[in-house]
Amino acid sequence: MTVVEFLAQAEDLVSPGLSACQGCAAELALRTAMKVIGPKSVVGIPPGCVAGFGAPGWGLKTGMKVPVCMPLLGNSASLMSGIKQAYAAKDPEVRVVAFAGDGATVDAGFQCLSAAAERRENIIYICYDNEGYMNTGFQKSGTTPHGAHMSTTPSGSCSQGNAAFKKDLPLMLAMQDAAYVATLSVSHIPDFVDKLKKACEVTDGLSYLHILSPCPTGWGTTPELSIEYARKAVETLYFPLYEYSRGTFTISKPTLRAAAKAKPVSEFLAGQRRFRHLCEADALALQEHVDRKWGILSRLAG
Amino acid sequence: MRRLPIGRDGMYVIDTGSWRQFRPVVRQADCTRCGICLMYCPVNAVRMSDGEVSFDLTYCKGCGICKIECPKKAIDWVEEGC
C-alpha cells in the first residue's frame, strides 16, 4: 500500500472542523500523525496552538475521536508517563501520545521530557515546532531562529531581532540516548509516515519526534506556501531530517539528496515577514550556524 | 471496539467552510490522481474515490496548499459567490 492509499483510507481521528489558521501545518501534522498512530491511543495536548484551535475540545465537547486530555504547559511528559504506566498494566497496546508545541517542549516542558526519556517511559512525544509562542502573540521561544522579529524580540534601531540561536532539542535527546529520536517535516509526508510507524514500534523507551511546522500567521507568509517553506527548510539544511536509534544516527533520504547540492539559507529566509529586516551580516550568521550544526550532525552520522 | 468517550455535549466542530474566499476545483482532464493534494491538505478535505479527486467543501478553509503543491497545476481557484 502506498502512502497516499494509506492516508486516503485511514480514519481521521480529529474533529473535521477545527479553528486552526488557514495553511496551518500543525493541523496537518496532527491529522497525519493520528492516522498512523491509530484509534487505540490516548492523547495529551498541552496549551499551545493545537489546544487553542480546539483539538482537546471546548467546554463539554471533545475535539478528537480518541480520549484526549490537556496537561499543563510544563508537565505533558510526566502526565502521559503516568497514563502509560496505568495502561501498561491494563492493556500494553494502548499508545500514549503527547502532542506539544515548541514552548511546551523546549522551554517549559524540557525538565519533564528529559526525565521521562531518562526513566525510559514508553510514550510517543511529538513536538510541532512553529518557532515561537504563536497563539499568544508571537513571543520568542527556545526554538526561535537567530534574527527573527518576534513580539518580545522586535527589530528596530537597537535590535536586529532574536539574538539567540535555535535550541536543538532532538540532538539533546539523542545524546540522552532516548529510544528513538527523529526530525520530521510536513513537506516530506512519506518520510513523516515512515518515522511515525517506527516510533509506534518502540516498546522500551521514549520516542521523540520533532516536526518543523511552518506558521503562516507568525512567520508572515501566505497560507498556501506553508509546505513550500517546510521544503525550503529541508533543502537549505536549515532543518536536517535524521533519526537516532540505539547509538546510530541516520540521515534521512530527503536531507541526503539536499546535502549533495545544498541551497543557501537566504532562500528559506526570503519572503518571510519575520526576517524582512535582516541585513547580510545577520543572514551570514544564520548561515554559519546552519553550517556548524550540519557539520556536527554529519560527523555524528559518520 | 467502542471508540468514544466523546464529551457530554458531543464533538467540537466548527463550520470552517464558511471561512473560504476561494474554492478549489479540479480539472479532471489534467489530474493524474497522484494524491499529492490529499497528502498535504491540512483539513483532510480531499477525497479519492472511483479514481477521481474531489474536495469536501463543508470543511475546506481555502488555504490554497493543494493549488501550489499540485504537480500538474490541475486545480483551479474560483472565487466564492461568483
Test A57 with B12 for CB contact under 8 angstroms: yes
Range of the domain at A45: 3-300
The total number of structural domains that make up chain B: 1
Alpha helices for B1-82 (secondary structure H) = 36-40, 65-69
Sheet holding A124-129, edge to edge: A68-69, A41-44, A95-101, A124-129, A207-212, A180-185, A242-245, A248-251
- Pick A61's closest partner by Cβ from B11, B36, B48: B11
Residue B34 in domain:
yes
The total number of structural domains that make up chain A: 1
Classify A250 as helix, strand or coil.
Answer: strand
**Residues 6+ positions from A152 with CB-CB distance below 8 Å:** A139, A140
CA distance A288 to chain B (A): 31
Residue B18 in domain:
no
Instruction: Name chain B contacts of A222, Cβ cutoff 8 Å.
Output: 64
Residue B66 in domain:
yes
Range of the domain at B47: 26-77
Phi-psi region of A115 (alpha: psi -120 to 50; beta: other; left: phi over 0): alpha
CA distance B28 to chain A (A): 18
Report the predicted TM-score, pTM, of the whole model to 2 decimal places.
0.95
Mutation for testing the B interface, residue in A28, A40, A130, A196 having most B CBs under 10 Å? A28
Residue B37 in domain:
yes
Cα dist from A101 to A132, A142, A180, A211, B20, whole Å: 9, 11, 19, 9, 26
Scan for cell 540522552, then name that residue: A176
The CATH number given to whatever domain includes residue B55 is 3.30.70.20
Instruction: Name chain B contacts of A18, Cβ cutoff 8 Å.
Output: 12, 14, 16
Q: What is the pLDDT along chain A (302 residues), one digit of tens a residue?
A: 899 999 999 999 999 999 999 999 999 999 999 999 999 999 999 999 999 999 999 888 999 999 999 999 999 999 999 999 999 999 999 999 999 999 999 999 999 999 999 999 999 999 999 999 999 999 999 999 999 999 999 999 988 899 999 999 999 999 999 999 999 999 999 999 999 999 999 999 999 999 999 999 999 999 999 999 999 999 999 999 999 999 999 999 999 999 999 999 999 999 999 999 999 999 999 999 999 999 999 999 98
Residue B12 in domain:
no
Classify A247 as helix, strand or coil.
Answer: coil
Residue B50 in domain:
yes
Distance CA A192, CA A215 (A): 18
Residue B6 in domain:
no
Q: Tally the C-alpha atoms within 13 A of residue A287's C-alpha that lie toward its C-beta.
A: 15
- Pick B7's closest partner by Cβ from A31, A62, A223: A62
Structural contact between residues A98 and A55, judged by C-beta atoms closer than 8 angstroms = no
The CATH number given to whatever domain includes residue A109 is 3.40.50.970
Residue B67 in domain:
yes
